[in-house]
Amino acid sequence: MQEKVSDERKFNKVITLVSIVIPVVVALLFGVKIPDVAPLSFLPPIYATINGVTAVLLLIAVWAIKNGNIKLHHKLMTTNIILSLLFLVLYIGYHMTSDSTSYGGEGMIRYVYYFILITHIVLSIALIPLVLRTYAKAYLSKFDEHKALAKYTFPVWLYVAITGVVVYLMISPYYEY
């Protein structure tokens, strides 16, 4: 029991550090442009697709666990974490090589776009510790705590994945390829 408490404290320290470092590094890298590199303008549809796949896999993972398929659930959730890391790398790569695209919609749809974008960004930052803590609870075999935390993590992660696709679809007419 003492070992699990110690392990959880170690996880919590790492999770806190990662949850702070990732958003700070991403924000700092937004100001960095790599000179003399071809823009990676082909990436937005790829990372939007990653968001879509993540949303689908999240739904399948919930179905799997509700049907007692723990192995499939674990594999799908691990895959979703890997996809999220891949998304992050591609997203940073795009923004370090390409100019940001401004949304060109007008009227009420502009407010809708920015509402979706801002909630997507804020929740994606909040999602980092949620996902890592939820995963750590399962890793430490604290399944009751894992399940309780997953009730919050799942809808936030699903929202972030779906709105990632929506944001891409709304801004894609304004990309310069």
Kindly report, residue by residue over 81-139, the tens digit of the pLDDT.
999 999 999 999 998 898 888 999 999 999 999 999 999 999 999 999 999 999 999 99
Domain coordinates of the chain in residue numbers? 2-174
What is the distance between the alpha carbons of residues 77 and 83, in angstroms, rounded to a whole number? 10
Name the CATH architecture for the domain at 2-174. Up-down Bundle (1.20)
CA 74-50-64 angle, 5° bins: 25
Q: Convert the pLDDT of each residue in 40-86 to its tens digit.
A: 889 999 999 999 999 999 999 999 999 999 999 999 999 999 999 99
Find all residues with CB under 8 Å of 86, minimum gap 6, and list them.
50
Find all residues with CB under 8 Å of 94, minimum gap 6, and list them.
40, 41, 43, 44, 47
